[in-house]
Amino acid sequence: MSYTNFTLDIDNDGVALVTWDMPDRSMNVFTEEAMLELNAIVDKVASDASIKGAVITSGKDTFSGGADITMLQKMLSKFAADKAKDLDKATKVLFDNAGYMTGLFRKLETSGKPWVSAINGTCMGGAFELSLACHGRVAADSDKVKMALPEVKIGIFPGAGGTQRVPRLTDQQQALQMLTSGQTLSPQKAKSMGLIHEIAEPTKLVETAKAMIKNGLKPVAPWDEKGFKLPGGPVYSVAGANLWPPAIAILRRETYGNYPAAAAILKCVYEGLLVPFDTGLRIEQRYFTEIMQTREAAAMIRSLFVSLQELNKGARRPAGVPETKFKKIGVLGAGFMGAGIAYVTAKAGIPVVLLDRDMDAAAKGKAHSDSLISDQVRTGRAKPEDKDRLLSLITPTADYADLTGCDLVVEAVFEDSDVKKDATEKAEAVLKPTAVFASNTSTIPITSLAKNSARPKNFIGIHFFSPVDKMMLVEIILGKKTGDKALATAIDFVRAIKKTPIIVNDTRGFYVNRCVLRYMSEAYKMLIEGVPAPMIENAAKAAGMPVGPLALTDETAIDLAQKIMKQTMRDLGDKAVDPKQMTLINTLVDTHGRFGRKNGKGFYDYPQKPAKKKLWPGLKDLYPQLAPERVDYEELKRRLLVTIALEAARVMEEGIVTDPREADVGSILAFGFAPFTGGVLSYIDGIGAKKFVKIAKGLQKKYGAEFKAPKLLLDMAEKGETFYQRFDPYARSEAKKAA
């Protein structure tokens, strides 16, 4: 039999080499076709007496990314379509489909022939579960080899035996930590946990794997042997009694019950370890079927996997514009943002010229990169040669002539229109006509800045978030005259530095800052109402936000919030800012000198490490405090999420963001909007526009006009529409193809 996705070669010793190499894909993934082929290969190996065992490896640089998540989406779509007709039957079909991979791996494991997984690169999800079902596991000694079961990060969990095999190979504490966090393992870490058997030189990987079979590897999993004992002892033991109650409490503390898949992992492991292995697999399959039906799984799969991948691959890139291969990039301004942009550019292997007013300032900017990469070398995340290579790509300068030959220049100078005008004119004087000029402004409209340019078609905004090396989102801002060439180049750059681009039309605050400022503003209102500060911060985290709004204000700086408020009043009038909120911020900055984390005093106090930050006790003296029992805690949570979601809906109504994928992914990557919801618009869609509008009206009646639902939402509520129906991103793509 011939195979499309695999090759099967049998050596003179009777060891079969199964090489996974899917055509027309950069990475192997489990599709229906691939699983059917692997099933046939397992049968072939098991039934052919001349085959002593099999080694499975990859013909690509990576081993496999796991299951094709779009396959899971199809399963969910079929379930959604069928459940209205017959819920029990639809659930049974979902259960059976969810168990196919489990059955395939168990078939391999009990085939009577030894199998060894030779892991040559990234091995994720279902691919690692396949490896765990093999009787031997060998990983190449390479930085490229990373193993993980990361499914919890997209709202599901390892449902092909992962929750049963991992805690039978390593102790339960390490197993739970790995499974509930999606932790990535190096070969050394995986070996120390007992998840792989050997680490081999990359050139000897297959040879080492074959040797395991030739040396008599038993074709039996440990749990199928008589007398098998769990590493670390059974669930009902002293060790178990010390592990499980805290584990449940820690999960609750970390997730606030917002992530059903994480809770299901604990149930699968706990229940599965009390029963025989095959019963444990059945338990896992049952919970997996249950989790697949949750709103959280559907939303997270769509936003954090499918949409994220589509945007990372350039879904919004203009068609027909040749891709830019960057030979040289300029960065104007070597301050914290400019230095960060230079670092990520050099890290991507692109030569970068870092320009500032004098060589000392430019060199200081390069030193930032030195500090970042040196820290990685010190902690073993990079090698000394990586540092040398990166720093060699950064050229500090004070001479605009050094920008000659740049394909793209990113301006990150002081946030002043005159300073930016000067930088634009000096740079364009030496740039080639086809070069693109981008501004990293966070407050000044791009259309306004483009007036300083002799070629506004090639002028665009590329808005990074701080710190640049850690934040994965970049807003690409279109001015009124920005052309497709500039947009395509900007997207190519953002993809080259391995960040996620979203496209935003020009407006004050763009997209992300508009939403974030609403989040902070609502917290200020709560403080003024007398809500105790700890309740505000805890409500935000319980609602799913990674950082409370007061802590976030400290991070971005309270005096910056003051400047933004004052500028808003100058531009839009005194009524544009709540005077009570202005007074609060003025009191903190002007009266108490509390600027935020940067001076160790903000809404929080920041003592020297290792002491942790704590809320400033003086906050409770600023306004009369409500008794905690008089505060509706659930309403606090709702207010914080709804105010952000309403602003996102306004942004869509105004045409600032036009693709719901970008609104959702952007909200999660930029400020961590409750990831379990799938993002701001998925949050509204999950509640339903009609119900959401009702909630908003209730909040508007109690707390004011900022909760007024825009006409777009009212119309959607009346028509029963979702954002993904109203602004279907795929319909637009199909229309482009047809044109």
Query: pLDDT tens, 270-283?
Result: 999 999 999 999 99
Tokens 């002081």 label which residue?
414
Residues 109 and 254 reside in one and the same domain: yes
Say which DSSP state 201 is in: -
Strands (E), 648-733: none
Give me 630's structure tokens.
């008089």
Tokens 């793209």 label which residue?
408
Residues 408 and 492 reside in one and the same domain: yes
Distance CA 254, CA 262 (A): 10
Percent of the chain topping pLDDT 90: 88
Q: Is 85 exposed, middle or buried (0-12, 13-18, 19+ CB in 10 A)?
A: exposed
Distance spanning both ends of the chain, measured CA to CA: 42
Residue 415: per-residue pLDDT: 80
In a domain, 78, yes or no: yes
Q: Is 39 exposed, middle or buried (0-12, 13-18, 19+ CB in 10 A)?
A: middle
Q: Report the DSSP beta bridge partners of residue 67.
A: 30
Residues 501 and 524 reside in one and the same domain: no
Provide the domain count of the chain: 3
In a domain, 404, yes or no: yes
Residue 509 has pLDDT above 90, yes or no: no
Position 77 confidence tier, pLDDT thresholds 50, 70, 90:
confident
Residue 409 has pLDDT above 60, yes or no: yes
Each residue's pLDDT tens digit, 625-673: 999 999 999 999 999 999 999 999 999 999 999 999 999 999 999 999 9
In a domain, 436, yes or no: yes
In a domain, 617, yes or no: yes
Residues 406 and 539 reside in one and the same domain: no
Distance CA 5, CA 19 (A): 8
Q: Report the DSSP beta bridge partners of residue 8.
A: 18
Residue 368 has pLDDT above 80, yes or no: yes
User: Domain of 26: which CATH number?
Assistant: 3.90.226.10
Are the C-beta atoms of 333 and 362 separated by less than 8 Å? no
Residue 417: per-residue pLDDT: 84
Per-residue pLDDT, averaged over 449-471, amounts to 94
- β-pairing, 408-411 vs 394-397, is unpaired
Position 735 confidence tier, pLDDT thresholds 50, 70, 90:
low
In a domain, 736, yes or no: no
- The count of other CB atoms within 10 Å of the CB of residue 532 is 18
Residues 572 and 487 reside in one and the same domain: no
Give me 90's structure tokens.
């639809």
Give the containing element (helix H, strand E) for 410.
strand 408-411
Position 556 confidence tier, pLDDT thresholds 50, 70, 90:
confident
Residue 78: per-residue pLDDT: 86
Distance CA 103, CA 96 (A): 10
Distance CA 240, CA 691 (A): 44
Residues spanned by the domain of 209: 6-293
Residue 733: per-residue pLDDT: 59
Residue 709 has pLDDT above 60, yes or no: yes
In a domain, 738, yes or no: no
Q: Which residue, of 242, 270, 293, is where some domain finishes?
A: 293
Percent of the chain topping pLDDT 70: 99
Question: 633-653 and 512-529 are packed helices; what angle lies between their axes, rounded to 10 degrees?
Answer: 150
3-state secondary structure of 64: strand
pTM: 0.92
Give me 589's structure tokens.
């900055």
Position 736 confidence tier, pLDDT thresholds 50, 70, 90:
low
Q: Which residue, of 509, 544, 578, is where some domain finishes?
A: 509
Residue 134 has pLDDT above 90, yes or no: yes
Position 441 confidence tier, pLDDT thresholds 50, 70, 90:
confident
Residues 427 and 563 reside in one and the same domain: no
Q: How far is the CA of 249 from the CAs of 80, 245, 254, 634, in angstroms?
A: 34, 6, 9, 21
Per-residue pLDDT, averaged over 689-710, amounts to 96
Each residue's pLDDT tens digit, 238-263: 888 899 999 999 999 999 999 999 99
Distance CA 729, CA 558 (A): 38
User: Domain of 453: which CATH number?
Assistant: 3.40.50.720
Residue 732: per-residue pLDDT: 66
Give me 360's structure tokens.
């000392």
3-state secondary structure of 614: strand
In a domain, 63, yes or no: yes
User: Domain of 525: which CATH number?
Assistant: 1.10.1040.50
3-state secondary structure of 550: helix
Position 443 confidence tier, pLDDT thresholds 50, 70, 90:
confident
Residue 163 has pLDDT above 80, yes or no: yes
In a domain, 222, yes or no: yes
Each residue's pLDDT tens digit, 176-194: 999 999 999 999 999 999 9
Average pLDDT of the chain to the nearest whole number: 94
Each residue's pLDDT tens digit, 533-552: 999 999 999 999 999 999 99
Q: Which residue, of 276, 293, 310, is where some domain finishes?
A: 293
Residues 101 and 207 reside in one and the same domain: yes
Distance CA 717, CA 463 (A): 33
Size of the chain, expressed as the number of residues it contains: 739
Residues 154 and 250 reside in one and the same domain: yes
Residues 119 and 250 reside in one and the same domain: yes
To 5 degrees, how large is the angle CA 519–CA 723–CA 718? Answer: 100
3-state secondary structure of 504: strand
Distance CA 541, CA 551 (A): 11
Residues 472 and 521 reside in one and the same domain: no
Residues 472 and 520 reside in one and the same domain: no
Q: Is 461 exposed, middle or buried (0-12, 13-18, 19+ CB in 10 A)?
A: buried
Residues 139 and 268 reside in one and the same domain: yes
